[in-house]
Amino acid sequence: MRELTGQQVVDAIRAETEKTLEALGGYVPTLAIVRVGENVPQLSYEKGAKKRMQNFGLDVKTFVFPEDVTPEVFFQRFREINADSAIDGVLLLKPLPEQLDVRRAEQMIDPEKDLDGISPVNIARVFAGEEAGFAPCTAEAVMETLRTYEVPVHGKRAVVVGRSLVVGRTLAMLLLRDNATVTICHTQTKDLKEECKKAEILAVAAGRAKLIDRDYVSAGCVILDVGINADENGNLCGDVNPEGLSDLAAALTPVPRGIGAVTTSVLAKHLVQAAARRLL
Ligand code: NAD
């Protein structure tokens, strides 16, 4: 079984963004990270995103609001950030505290700067099968992984476990756009095992530690594990239990060092794309 590590995908994305940056002739795109409060997973994602932007030679400005910020203050500032011509892309860290209507923020974000595809305009573009706009970074990270490792998608039977808008549902649309025959599974799916066994490409984004084991996998399957969970010992693990898969599956993305590592590179790629679409 091949291990599809994220690093190779990151390198491929970096090479691609470097070309676009060259075409931008020294212009350094700037990402605005907007965070409300001190939520630990958000802080950790922010740290990773900043490091990646630095690594790709991109700038970051962080806008932090107190947990109890009023809607008036937050949305006025959020509008200004979106309108600022010195900012090429905006990443809004979610969830937002209760007093802030997340839908209002999603509708307010400039679709051309909406790097994680949360605006209704970008969602519609993804679901219409269009290439314009931005898809959520994690779903696209899966597609980038398939592309880098030259896994054929066209005509393949793909099964996605998970139907969240941010990962599973969007990923299903991206696989469909590349002409896979796609099945989406979720908590109400009657026989998950049988559905998964039909997969030539199996993408799992359920958020359930080790949900998928060898009983769910057919010989030669390529498995993409999006899950980030803690196992019984508190260690990081995916939605797939890799034990017993080595003589069965063709390939698997590890957790950690798999899809998670690619997500922030897609964010960087989107930032450079946003600048290029505006300036070239
Ligand atoms: P979510 O909770 O919003 O959605 C989970 C989906 O999985 C739901 O649609 C649900 O129906 C389905 N599901 C849950 N348990 C199931 C089961 N037993 N059988 C069948 N379907 C089941 O989660 P999400 O935001 O889509 O994230 C999914 C996972 O991906 C989480 O582990 C999350 O941490 C991870 N994630 C990773 C990245 C990354 O960068 N790698 C980014 C976002 C999310």
For 205-253, give the DSSP string: ----TT-B-GGG--TT-EEEE---EE-TTS-EE-SB--TT-TTT-SEE-
227 with 207: CB under 8 angstroms? yes
- Domain 25-113, CATH number (from 3.40.50.2300, 3.40.50.10860, 1.10.10.10, 3.30.70.420): 3.40.50.10860
DSSP 144: H
The pTM for the full model equals 0.98
Structure confidence at residue 264 (pLDDT): 98
Distance in Å, CA 162 to ligand 1 centroid: 6
d(C-alpha 165, C-alpha 169), whole Å: 5
d(C-alpha 158, C-alpha 101), whole Å: 35
Q: Where exactly does CATH 3.40.50.10860 map onto the chain?
A: 25-113
The protein residue with its alpha carbon nearest to ligand 1, atom 18, reads 187
Structure confidence at residue 35 (pLDDT): 98
Distance in Å, CA 206 to ligand 1 centroid: 3
Structure confidence at residue 146 (pLDDT): 98
Closest ligand 1 atom to 169 CA: 9
The protein residue with its alpha carbon nearest to ligand 1, atom 41, reads 260
Structure confidence at residue 84 (pLDDT): 98
d(C-alpha 258, C-alpha 226), whole Å: 8
Numbered residues of the known binding site: 162-164, 228
From first to last of its 280 residues, the chain has per-residue pLDDT tens of 999 999 999 999 999 999 999 999 999 999 999 999 999 999 999 999 999 999 999 999 999 999 999 999 999 999 999 999 999 999 999 999 999 999 999 999 999 999 999 999 999 999 999 999 999 999 999 999 999 999 999 999 999 999 999 999 999 999 999 999 999 999 999 999 999 999 999 999 999 999 999 999 999 999 999 999 999 999 999 999 999 999 999 999 999 999 999 999 999 999 999 999 999 9
ipTM score: 0.98
Structure confidence at residue 117 (pLDDT): 98
Q: Which CATH superfamily is domain 137-260 in?
A: NAD(P)-binding Rossmann-like Domain (3.40.50.720)
Structure confidence at residue 218 (pLDDT): 98
Q: Tell which one of 166, 210, 228 to mutate to probe ligand 1, the residue whose CB is within 8 A of the most ligand atoms.
A: 228
Burial class (CB in 10 A: 0-12, 13-18, 19+), 191: exposed
Numbered residues of the known binding site for NADP(+): 162-164, 228
Q: Tell which one of 226, 231, 259, 262 to mutate to probe ligand 1, the residue whose CB is within 8 A of the most ligand atoms.
A: 226
Neighbours of 165 (CB within 10 A): 14
Structure confidence at residue 88 (pLDDT): 98
Q: Tell which one of 144, 145, 187 to mutate to probe ligand 1, the residue whose CB is within 8 A of the most ligand atoms.
A: 187
Structure confidence at residue 111 (pLDDT): 98
Neighbours of 68 (CB within 10 A): 9
| Helix, strand, or coil (residue 24) | coil
Q: Where exactly does CATH 3.40.50.720 map onto the chain?
A: 137-260
